[in-house]
C-alpha cells in the first residue's frame, strides 16, 4: 500500500518520539524503514522519547553500577539494528571496544554510520549462527540487547543465554531490553490497554490530540506478526539462572516492555 507523504512524515515523528516502538516501525514502499530520518528527528525532539529513553538510561545506569569508572571494556550489542543503544554508551565511554552484531547488512550499514570509530567492529551474523559458532570464552565485559531477542523461541533463548554466559568475563553483565509475553489472557488485555493508554497520553502530551486512538491497534498488530515470539519474563529469568547468571532480576517493566538480566560473578574460592 502506498502511503501519503504526510502519513509517512507523521509516522516518522511518532517513531522518533518513541510513541511507535521500533519493532512496529512501518515498512515503506521502497522496503526501508527510514531509520536514519527517524534518528535525525530524534535529535530534534530530544527528551520526548519517554519509555525508550528510560529503558536505555536504566541499561546504562546498570552498566555504571557494575563497572564504575573502569575503562577499556569490551562490549557486545546483540541485534544492534541502527546502533542507537551502542551509540548512547559510546558517546559516554568512547574508550570501550564495541562489537555490534546483526543479521541484516542494511541495519549494520546504518549502525556503521551512527557508531563508526577505531574500536568498533561489526559482525553480520544471525543469532542462530552466533549460538552455534565457536565460543569466545570470557571475552566480553558487557553484553546487551534491545528489542531483538523476542524473535527467538524459548529453546533458542536458553541456548543464547548459555552462550552469553560463557562469553562473559567473570565480573561481567548481561542486560536485555525486550517485550515479554504476559502470563495470561487477562494480563495481556491489561498490558495491551496500558500500551494503548501510554501511546494516547504521549500523543496528548505532544499536542497531537487529533491522533488519539489512531494507534490503538498496534498491540494487536504486534501480536499477529509471526516474527514476534515473545517468551514470558518468568521463563527468561529462569533461563538466565539455568545458564549460570546470578543477581538475576527484572529492573523495570512497563506494560510488556522490560529490562532484565544478570551478572557473571567472580567464582568464590573454597579456601
Stretch that binds ligand SAM, among 39-47, 63-71, 126-134, 212-220 (CB under 6 A): 126-134
Is 85 among the residues that bind ligand SAM (CB under 6 A)?
yes
Nearer to ligand SAM, 125 or 265 (CB): 125
Q: Which residues between 129 and 188 bind ligand SAM (CB under 6 A)?
A: 146-148, 151
Q: Give strand pairing partners of 271.
A: none
Nearest distance in Å: CB 4, ligand SAM = 25
Core vs surface per residue 212-221: b (16+ CB within 10 A) or e: eeebeebbee
Figure out which of the listed residues 127, 165, 174, 192 binds ligand SAM, where binding follows CB under 6 A. Answer: 127
Measured in whole angstroms, the distance separating CA 209 from the mean position of its chain's CA atoms is: 29
Which whole-number Å values give the CA distances from 39 to 5, 84, 242, in the listed order? 18, 8, 37
Residue closest to ligand SAM, measured at CB = 81
The vertex-61 CA angle with 57 and 62, nearest 5°, equals 120
Binding-residue total with ligand SAM (CB under 6 A): 18
Q: Which residues between 53 and 82 bind ligand SAM (CB under 6 A)?
A: 79-81
Is 230 among the residues that bind ligand SAM (CB under 6 A)?
no
Nearer to ligand SAM, 55 or 233 (CB): 55
Nearest distance in Å: CB 177, ligand SAM = 7
The H or E element containing residue 260 is strand 257-264
The H or E element containing residue 125 is none
Q: Which residues between 19 and 48 bind ligand SAM (CB under 6 A)?
A: 22-23
The answer to whether the CB of 211 falls within 8 A of the CB of 203 is yes
For the chain, how big is the Rg over CA atoms in Å? 19
Question: Packing angle between helix 5-16 and helix 35-45, nearest 10 degrees?
Answer: 60
Nearest distance in Å: CB 238, ligand SAM = 22
Sequence-distant (6+) residues with CB within 8 A of 224 are: none
What residues line the site for ligand SAM (CB under 6 A)?
Answer: 22-23, 79-81, 84-85, 102-104, 107, 126-128, 146-148, 151
Amino acid at each position: 500500500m502506498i502511503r501519503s507523504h504526510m502519513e509517512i512524515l507523521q509516522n516518522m515523528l511518532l517513531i522518533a518520539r518513541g510513541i511507535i516502538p521500533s519493532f512496529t516501525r512501518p515498512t515503506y514502499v521502497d522496503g526501508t524503514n527510514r531509520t536514519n530520518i527517524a534518528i535525525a528527528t530524534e535529535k530534534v525532539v530530544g527528551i520526548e522519547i519517554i519509555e525508550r529513553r528510560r529503558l536505555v538510561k536504566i541499561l546504562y545506569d546498570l552498566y555504571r553500577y557494575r563497572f564504575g569508572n573502569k575503562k577499556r571494556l569490551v562490549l557486545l550489542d546483540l541485534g544492534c539494528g541502527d546502533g542507537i543503544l551502542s551509540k548512547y554508551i559510546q558517546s559516554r565511554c568512547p574508550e570501550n571496544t564495541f562489537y555490534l552484531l546483526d543479521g541484516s547488512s542494511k541495519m549494520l550499514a546504518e549502525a556503521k554510520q551512527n557508531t563508526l570509530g577505531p574500536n568498533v567492529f561489526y559482525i553480520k551474523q544471525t543469532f542462530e549462527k552466533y549460538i552455534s559458532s565457536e565460543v569466545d570464552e570470557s571475552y566480553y565485559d558487557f553484553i546487551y540487547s534491545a528489542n531483538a531477542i523476542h524473535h527467538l523461541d524459548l529453546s533458542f533463548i536458553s541456548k543464547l543465554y548459555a552462550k552469553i554466559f560463557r562469553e562473559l568475563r567473570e565480573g561481567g553483565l548481561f542486560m536485555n531490553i525486550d517485550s515479554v509475553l504476559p502470563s495470561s489472557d487477562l494480563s495481556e488485555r491489561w498490558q495491551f490497554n496500558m500500551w494503548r493508554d501510554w501511546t494516547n497520553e504521549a500523543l496528548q502530551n505532544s499536542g497531537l490530540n487529533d491522533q488519539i486512538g489512531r494507534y490503538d491497534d498496534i498491540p494487536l498488530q504486534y501480536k499477529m506478526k509471526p516474527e514476534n515470539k515473545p517468551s514470558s519474563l518468568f521463563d527468561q529469568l529462569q533461563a538466565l539462572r539455568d545458564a549460570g547468571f546470578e543477581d538475576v532480576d527484572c529492573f523495570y517493566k512497563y506494560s510488556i516492555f522490560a529490562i532484565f538480566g544478570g551478572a557473571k560473578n567472580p567464582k568464590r574460592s573454597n579456601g
